[in-house]
Structure 1
């Protein structure tokens, strides 16, 4: 609890420093400075600027800033132009390794996406309405897809296999699986990879995300067992029933979650599993809140809540969708029970089964 001016001043100063670090990291990723150090080895600012086609003076300021943060290492040359900067293996993994469960480089893109729309966000906060996912642009959609990619690619199959009855449903020969709000398609491809006898249909309302998904499917050689459909959750493609349905980190974004859950329930065969993966926030509000809750409030205020409020009518859920809220939505959609699946340590997420 911040009870003194001095304590809060120190906290706000640290938060401002973290903000500039976030934007600096975004710049280093976007301009290829980090990648060039990782791929081609240590360099002076002059060498790094030449490798990346950028301006040396700005490159030098970036390198010195990142070195002052302790991210880059540097020799102690007295001449600034002779200092050699290097990217250690740990930060390189976090920033650049798309297969690592520590991969967080794209997190900076979500912050920048929100910053670009700050005037629109302020307008919504004052007068209502929202800012659509489309308006947040490529930084938001690609950040979302890339942050979840390693978890879906490496961990989703084993996580689902650890729940025997769910695994049995998904392993049915010729199973049809619905992936609601599939975004860039990594969850769809993970399901198709884990269950080679299944056909997986991913649906989303964002056309550019589905372009990313189709390209990823083609690159993975899974184009014959996955399909991507541009549609909202209230209009689930038919007419054949699905054996299972998933909604990975998207229900809290939907303006009309009850209607979507009702449509999914009607589209899945009787007894077929409906699984919601969403943020593992606390069941009840608390102040101070957990680190997870604080992080999700940040996403909610600047991205997810404005997205959900961009369409009317809207439930206005936001990222901090607590278990009682999801249970209420499910019951109103016609489900009888909401249970938590025994899947733990899956990033910031919790898995719910609706039945």
Structure 2
């Protein structure tokens, strides 16, 4: 063995303490989100543990410990003089404002699913087989919707669709739009609310997600202009769609080229494919950063196993990058592939035949 550099070891151990603290805090975020502690604290302002416990119908002793852990994490603030806890506006946006553009608590449900499903993933590591989306813990489905919905609310109808040449005008006047891999329908419902003259069709192979999407449409009052149906990306039909969208799902598919061919077949001659994928550079070294850490980890536990569970099993992964995605589109017969927009979390492409 090489001689150990004590200073480097101490620094690395410090990193481990920080990482373990972040990891263990994830369970407390799920707990606080489930019990409504964040939303209550943001609503009532500075509060003692007793006040927050009384407001949420929880036990003071447990709430006291939870609050201390949250303050130690920097997720909330502590006023020592008043012995009270409170949230800054920024912390409230992240943990309490579910409809806002920065809400992150839902993402911690995705982390919970990874821990619960680790034995299943360990088994496919050894067998080389896959693990289907439908085989995961149900908190993955809820968490995915709640994690991605704020980004869609912030960007989908204000930046991404307007970045596609002429598409927004069509949707305003009345168009046919397919949302493939729609999950719980967050993106579909948002588009239907924004463009009331258009007709939307949501497709997903997961029956339970389609049922939840139908309920979401009813709750939003847009069920009259959305049809949800159980169908895979390779099997959906209807034809002559002015726009077909896939949000953060192409890389999960076993045969993304086959899915892209079906999209091309069902697009109107001048239709647009709106492809949204996790942000990634083409070079692995350029992805070795906090965003890449998050997406490579999710890809290991969720995305790659999902792809390998299906026919072809291409296994693009959540960090496929623009060049690889363009290759998929070109293999399917598309000739126009343009990066239309991006965020720190997403790449947005305008794809045409």
Asked if these proteins are the same fold (TM beyond 0.5), I'd say yes
Corresponding residue of 1:70:
74
The equivalent of 1:273 in structure 2 is 272
Residue 149 of structure 1 aligns with which residue? Answer: 149
Is the 2:240–2:269 Cα contact (8 Å) retained in structure 1?
Answer: no
Gaps of 5+ in 2: none
Q: What's 1:6 paired with? A: 10
* Larger CA deviation: 286-295 vs 19-28: 286-295
Counterpart CA distance in 1 for 2:207 and 2:229 is 9
Structure 1 length normalisation: TM-score?
Answer: 0.89
Is contact 1:255–1:308 with CA below 8 Å preserved after alignment?
yes
Match of 1:167 in 2: 168
Q: CA deviation at 1:166?
A: 2.9
Asked if the contact 1:169–1:244 (Cα under 8 Å) also holds between the matched residues in 2, the reply is no
2:23 corresponds in structure 1 to: 19
How far apart are the structure 1 equivalents of 2:286 and 2:148?
28
Conservation of the 8 A alpha-carbon contact between 1:188 and 1:202: yes
Q: Secondary structure at the match of 2:315?
A: coil
> CA offsets per residue over residues 44-67 of structure 1, 9 Å max, x none?
333433443434333221111112
* Structural mapping, 1:55-94, within 5 Å: 55-76=59-80, 83-94=83-94
Following TM superposition, by how much is the alpha carbon of 1:169 offset from its aligned partner in structure 2, in angstroms? 4.4
CA distance in 2, matches of 1:235, 1:312: 13
Root-mean-square deviation over aligned CA pairs: 2.2
Contact 1:169 1:273 in 2 (8 A): no
- Aligned partner of residue 223 in structure 2, secondary structure: coil
Shift of 1:280: 1.7
Query: After superposition, what is the alpha-carbon deviation per residue over 1:156-177, rounded to whole angstroms, capped at 9, x for unaligned?
Result: 1121224443334444x44211
SS at match of 2:105: coil
Q: Is the 8 A contact 2:52 2:63 kept in 1?
A: yes
Conservation of the 8 A alpha-carbon contact between 2:101 and 2:153: no
Aligned-partner Cα distance in 1 for 2:350–2:213 = 25
1:154-202 deviation line (CA, Å, top 9, x unaligned): 431121224443334444x442111111112121122223333211101
Contact 2:280 2:287 in 1 (8 A): no
Alignment of 1:296-315 (within 5 A): 296-315=295-314
How far is 1:308 from its partner?
2.1
Three-state SS of the structure 2 residue aligned to 1:273 is: strand
- Equivalent in the alignment of 2:125: 125
- Contact 2:113-2:136 within 8 A present in 1 as well: yes
Q: Give a deviation string over 1:298-323, Cα, whole Å, max 9, x none.
A: 21112211222233431112111211
Q: Distance in 2 between matches of 1:70 and 1:248?
A: 32
Match of residue 291 from structure 1:
290
Residue 350 of structure 2 corresponds to 353
Instruction: Give the alignment of 1:92-131 within 5 angstroms.
Output: 92-131=92-131
**Residue deviations 1:123-177 (CA, integer Å, cap 9, x gap):** 1112222332223233211121122223323431121224443334444x44211
Separation in 2, partners of 1:162, 1:242: 18
Matched, 1:260 2:259: yes
Conserved? CA contact 1:181–1:250, under 8 Å: yes
Q: 2:232 maps to which residue?
A: 232
Q: CA deviation at 1:203?
A: 0.5
Using the TM superposition, name which of 176-185 and 240-249 deviates more. 240-249
Q: Which residue of 1 aligns with 2:178?
A: 178
Unaligned runs of 5+ in 1: none
Partner of 1:197: 197
2:37 aligned to which of 16, 33, 37: 33
The whole-number CA distance in structure 2 between the counterparts of 1:36 and 1:192 is 31
For residues 186 and 269 of structure 2, the distance between their equivalents in structure 1, rounded to whole angstroms, comes to 27
For residues 252 and 288 of structure 1, do their structure 2 counterparts lie closer, same or farther at Cα, with a shift above 3 Å needed? closer
> Quick check: 2:164–2:350 contact (8 Å CA) kept in 1?
no
The residue that corresponds to 1:324 in the other structure is 323
